Structure 1
Amino acid sequence: MIENSLINKLQNFGLNQYEAKAYVALLSIGTSNAYSISKVSGIPRARIYDIIESLTNRGFVMFEETSDNVKNYTALPADVFLERIREEWSSNYDDMEKELKQIEAKEKKDDIYISTVKGEKNILTFCRNLMKDANEKIVVSIWDNMYLELLPDLQKCIERGCKVSGITFGVENPISVLDKHRMNKIHNSVEKKPWFILSSDSKKLLYGHSSEVNGNAFYTEDSTHIYLLEDYIFHDIVINRFIKKEDNENIAVKMISEILNEMKSDSQK
């Protein structure tokens, strides 16, 4: 029996459902005639010849004709088929990437746009692309789970000479270029939804709920947004370094507590 998951995957690479079923069926039974392929694949006999012809024209199926005018078909070996699919996909991807980026470059947006990025995988992929495209610097404010997901990408940025700076929350031993934030009551609030900020070259910004929350993040190229959130991160760094260097840490802790109490009082008005 042909697995539906395999058929669905083959459809993602340009085969229609019947083509995928016919190729897999033929691969499983070996050289055979149209009747047997139809029987094993479940493709109606009225359609099987069209489907085989389509696969033959694409080079995925080979055939030989016997002396009594009967055609026998053989599937292209799996390794050859997969390489063909890889080449076609890679070529289509390269063409699509070039065309989409050309279109994007032509579109000049005068208004300020903030786009929503939804879901864990999309947020992580967006972050990785921002870091990959950065030429000069990355500035981050990030919690532990997302930090671990993106650590290899941060390290790659550093290795290629891109400056990385920022602050982490709940990370015991962050990489040396990132500061460790002192935890306080406001970080353990009722909502308990960690956040992140990632700025790339001070030109592109993604911020919002940490990826594991599986919620929303927001992307913008607005310079005001970028300035304010980078400034927020740098103020965080300054305060935390101040606390570490303060001769009498209790004074610093008391000052932070007073500020947090003021914030709490204001929010309850």
Structure 2
Amino acid sequence: MNGEELIETLEDAGLSPYQADAFVTLLGLGSASATQIAKASSVPDARIYDVLRGLEEAEYIETYQQDSLHARAHDPADVLADLRQRANRFETAAEEIEDRWDRPDIDEHRVSIVKRLDTVLAQAEQLIRNAETQVNVGLTIDQYYELEDALECALDRGADVKVCLVPSLDREMELPSTDSFSRTATEVRTRSAPSPFIALIDRSWTCFSPHGRSTNEYGVIVNDMTHTYVFYWYFLTNLWEGYESIYSARNEELPISYVDIRHCLRTIVPLFEDGMQIDVSVNGIETVTGHEISLRGTVTDVTYAGQTQDETYLTSLSHLAGEASFTLETDDGTYTVGGWGAMIEEIEAIQITVERAEKQP
């Protein structure tokens, strides 16, 4: 650091430009008269005495009389301690600013942009740990292990947990054990190509960050059902529907529970078309009032876009991309049941359980 940079730094530490210049000059002279200091620095003769008194009050120097006013620098220990304390405060302030930027108060924002993947993972970990109904994640093996405990908590709480594992950019994918999957997931699939990190929690939260070779590292944290629904279709089309399961804890026989009406319809439609009586229970929300509701009854009709013309029902996601609902007859009346974001149906289903299907006489 040259003399000019040192003077600028001392100015940042609270000295005036003249005080900083005089102090650096005095460090080079050792001790000197006020007149000598003024000549060797940029401090005007008329200001030198005030400048030196100010430095003495700040305990940077001491003055003494020797025919005329002289000055010498104090033992630098106190000055150095003060500068280091200021440096630590600046460093702490920098860290605090960075932390406040990276971790905004999520509760006050619907969409938050953060700088680092670590922030996205930390928020995802917290949300997954407290999930109640469903979790959908696409992540690398390292990220899986980082979130393993949180995924286990979600599964223990009864959430439906879908995991898609993707390879890292820098190494081969070594899959966790089946025992690990049994503790963390309802179903696991793998994708052969790298993909961004994504976590969708309880249909309301999205945590997203591009893969490691993205131009800029950033993350998006969304607390909004509509935006999360858009990300959910990204998850379905890019990380789920096109890939085979490598692990599943789902029942092969009824009763079977679903958190997505479209997956449920894949079970219901062929049974319904075969003339079977299908009894289901639904936990959901009344679309008009927003109140939670539980229903149990018999399916009397099904509706979905892209009706198939053959006997292979709903094998393509395109068959389910539009309207998807069924009509449920209960002891208290008949209800139309839709899925995530239902508007024209009376009930938005959160969980559907197909209890039984029997051939009608």
Return the TM-score normalized by structure 2.
0.36
Structure richer in strand, relative to its length = 2
Q: Which has the larger radius of gyration?
A: 2
Structure richer in helix, relative to its length = 1
